[in-house]
Amino acid sequence: MAISTSQRRGNWAEQRALRLLRGTGWQLLARQWRCRWGELDLLLHKPQRLLLVEVKSRGRCGVDGWGLASFTALKRVRLGRAFDCWLAAHPRYQHCSLELVLALVPQPPATEPVRWIRCWG
């Protein structure tokens, strides 16, 4: 199955965010993990901590602010349910604190840096 331009751009944005996070000591646990409730873009780990990253990427800052407006209340609920599903399958991480971060990743040719927005945790 051929990968769409949108999927290719999403993969590129996730890889960019992942490189930045690995550079600060985070270790990848899951990428594009799916269940019936949705998908976890990136889930990373440091001792006693989990970082759930929702990646949004745009070629320019439009009316949705690099993708910020697409992070709706419904999306957050689905993300929480998907994380609960992941955690049920990986109970050894239940003791870890969790932080949710939104990564707004501009696509080339945009030169703006990645914006990190802490949502909770």
Our CA angle for 58, 68, 121, nearest 5°, is 125
The number of distinct structural domains making up the chain is 1
The pLDDT of residue 59: 61
Confidence category of residue 68, pLDDT binned at 50, 70, 90: low
CATH number at residue 104: 3.40.1350.10
Structural domain span for residue 84:
5-120
**What is the residue type of 54?**
E
pLDDT value at residue 40: 98
pLDDT of residue 106: 87
